Amino acid sequence: MIDDLIKANEYVISKIKENNEVILEMEEYAKEHNVPIVTKEVAEYLKFMIKSNKSKNILEVGTAIGYSGSVMLQGNEDVTITTIEIDEDRYNEARVNFEKMGYSSRVNQILGDALVEIPKLDDTFDFIFIDAAKGKYMDFYKDSYKLLKKDGIIFIDNIMFRGYLYNEYPKRFKTIVRKLNEFIEYLHENEDFVLLPFGDGIGLVYNRGDKKHK
């Protein structure tokens, strides 16, 4: 089964054709500098989700170098994004990349800790993308859900953390693995949630709007 998934994933990636030079530059930069970005198939799924959900206003927790933000804006001219990054160097790299993509006017970049910055936001969002410190996923989720519109989607990337949730893991990651397992159990028990086993694991939450978030 695992071998089949790996082969299927390789096949999917082989069919993705990216011609945007800035996107390709960011992919190469991330590879050279060990910057975690979404995988190619996840990037394609993100673009699809933004279009199919008819999203207009996005919140991103974890900008990194602006790759996922650029992907979500790519081909979606009427979409805006508020994106939060705690690392100043990556914040600045993302700003340059957004400028290269021509997206500066549609991006509200925030430098700071998302747990501090999210509660300050006076806005609502129809799509929220979370890809930041894994040990804080539950906190990021609960804070950002309060800003999610009815029928909105929360897209949680890397939720299976390098496969460590179902394989052996270094002892130093014990707490993160435990927290992510608890987070996934919480989502299954309390939310309209689906866990998808591609990329490094994706979690999707749908807000029906018929209950207040716990």
What gap in Å lies between CA 1 and CA 6, rounded to an integer? Answer: 9
Asked if 66 and 88 touch (Cβ cutoff 8 Å), the reply is no
**Residue whose C-alpha is closest to residue 84's, from 58, 107, 110, 103:** 110
Residue 18 annotated as part of some ligand binding site: no
**What distance, in Å, lies between the first and last C-alpha atoms of the chain?**
36
Q: Is 68 annotated as a binding residue?
A: yes
Other C-beta atoms lying within 10 Å of the C-beta of residue 15: 9
Residue 168 among known ligand-binding residues: no
Contact 168, 212 (CB under 8 A): no
Q: What is d(CA 27, CA 47) in angstroms, rounded to the nearest whole number?
A: 16
Provide the β-strand partners of residue 59: 82, 128
Who's near 120: CB < 8 A, 6+ residues apart?
A: none
Tell me if 85 is assigned to a ligand binding site.
Answer: yes
Q: Is 3 annotated as a binding residue?
A: no
Is 38 annotated in some ligand binding site?
Answer: yes
Name the residue among 195, 214, 176, 68 with its Cα closest to residue 127.
68
Is 157 flagged in the annotation as binding? Answer: yes
Longest Cα pair distance anywhere in the chain, in angstroms?
Answer: 46
Q: Are 62 and 131 in contact (CB under 8 A)?
A: yes
> Which parts are annotated binding residues?
38, 68, 85, 113-114, 131, 157-158
> Which parts are annotated binding residues for Mg(2+)?
131, 157-158
> Which parts are annotated binding residues for S-adenosyl-L-methionine?
38, 68, 85, 113-114, 131
